[in-house]
Amino acid sequence: MVKLLLHSVCLALAVSAVPAGPHDSQMPLGSSVTGFDLDLSEQRLVQLEGQAPQWISELDKIQLKAKNVNFFDITDAQELGHSIVARPLLKSSFPSPNATKKVESVLKTLSTEGPKSNLEKFTSFRTRYYRSDTGRQSQQWLLAQISKITADWSSKSLRKLINVSEFPHSWGQNSIIVRINGSSTVDDSVVVIGAHQDSTNMWPFLPAPGADDDGSGSVTILEAYRALIAADFHPTRSVEFHWYSAEEGGLLGSQAVAKDYAARSVNVLAMSQFDMTAWVKRGTREEVGVISDFVDPSLTAFNKQLVEKYLDIPFVETKCGYACSDHASWSKAGYPSIFTIESSFENSNKHIHSANDRIDISDEFSFSHMLEFSKLAVAFAIELGGWN
């Protein structure tokens, strides 16, 4: 353990001379081990695509991440998808979009101002790594901001239907769940819209502003939530917004939440993940990447209809592989889930998991592009949640 920590200190010091932007002012890079609750020798049970679970060290996990290998860390959720399954994997079906007037009335109120202000603050934390002090601080800031938006934008009658809560995790950075209770007394299903709040560098002790991955998705769905409650959205079905912790650690936060929902037989109708929504590669067509692998086909088809009906840019089908974001946890639990990303996977942001995942790194980072995804989240909530 001492040897591993010394290695991390040496690595941090070796790169400390490389400028990484204004975010470094909060914490000198040479002292980056301070403020992390991370045992690199800790054994974790990890599952890769098509392989039996295997025990590896936390350091091995970090190295897998550096090689862009997707995995589940199933140490605390081994029964998910086995003894704990939400329901039989039945073929799901979804109606064509038909709430046009209501959706479009909310879309007109969306803005880039809130997302820009929120993301500037969210990326000012040196890292949002889930086992770091600043990761916990960033989660608490996000929780406070969600609570403030709820208080500022919801009517008194709607506020009684909203519950803002933390889903606790042992590592300290909690997931956040906001629920708008539905009015139906016969339909107990829930619509879930999610993003992950944590960030990481390829080496966790280094700066990780995480502007695109997944600060962009986090503020994208926050803006959708603000616009919905400002419009006094009273859903028929309950609608939830989730901000997951520890996605970068192997989908830990979303697995814990999905495991809890499955164990309680919560009837999740559909789950939509927003992970990276801001990047438009120079010289390419602006588009919405609709992930086509490891997702629910019927819900994905419905998602494409939403893009065609409500967005100003087209979709492109693309793939991201096994366990590439938090929707995979919900699929594993037996729930219909989908994932939408900023572009085709090959044209997505190549600065992620580095100190250069910043708002100001390039004119390819676009808040107007993010706004298209806020539109998609609003449409998803209204079309599936209904409006009483």
Average pLDDT, the chain: 91
Percent of the chain with pLDDT over 70: 89
The answer to whether residues 287 and 352 touch, using CB atoms and an 8 Å cutoff, is no
- Give me the mean pLDDT over the 164-169 stretch: 98
The CA distance from 386 to 207, in Å, is 42
Domains of the chain and any CATH numbers: 2-385 (3.40.630.10)
- Give me the mean pLDDT over the 162-178 stretch: 98
- pLDDT value at 42 more than 90: yes
List the structure tokens of 92.
């799901």
- Give me the mean pLDDT over the 163-186 stretch: 98
This prediction has a pTM of 0.91
Report residue 34's pLDDT band, with 50, 70 and 90 as the boundaries. Answer: confident
- Taking only the tens place, the pLDDT of each residue in 207-228 is 999 999 999 999 999 999 999 9
Q: Quick one: pLDDT at residue 33?
A: 63
Provide the strand spans (E) within 91-189.
162-167, 175-180
The answer to whether residues 120 and 359 touch, using CB atoms and an 8 Å cutoff, is yes
- pLDDT value at 53 more than 60: yes
**Would you say the C-alpha torsion 174, 175, 178, 179 has a positive or negative sign?**
negative
Q: Are strands 175-180 and 238-244 parallel, antiparallel or unpaired?
A: antiparallel
Percent of the chain with pLDDT over 90: 87
- CB atoms inside a 10 Å sphere around CB 25: 9
Q: Are strands 54-57 and 72-73 parallel, antiparallel or unpaired?
A: unpaired
Report residue 130's pLDDT band, with 50, 70 and 90 as the boundaries. Answer: very high
Nearest partner of 119 among 287, 333, 277, 288, judged by Cα? 277
Q: Quick one: pLDDT at residue 388?
A: 85
Structure-derived torsion over alpha carbons of residues 116, 121, 126, 132, reported in degrees to the nearest 10: -120
- pLDDT value at 13 more than 50: no
The CA distance from 366 to 374, in Å, is 13
The answer to whether residues 198 and 135 touch, using CB atoms and an 8 Å cutoff, is yes
If you write DSSP's letter for every residue of 3-55 in order, what string do you get? HHHHHHHHHHHHHTTS---GGGGGS-GGGTTTTB---TT-EEEEE-TTS--EE
Phi first, then psi, for residue 187 (nearest 5°) are: -110, 110
List the structure tokens of 262.
């499955």
Report residue 327's pLDDT band, with 50, 70 and 90 as the boundaries. Answer: very high
- pLDDT value at 90 more than 80: no
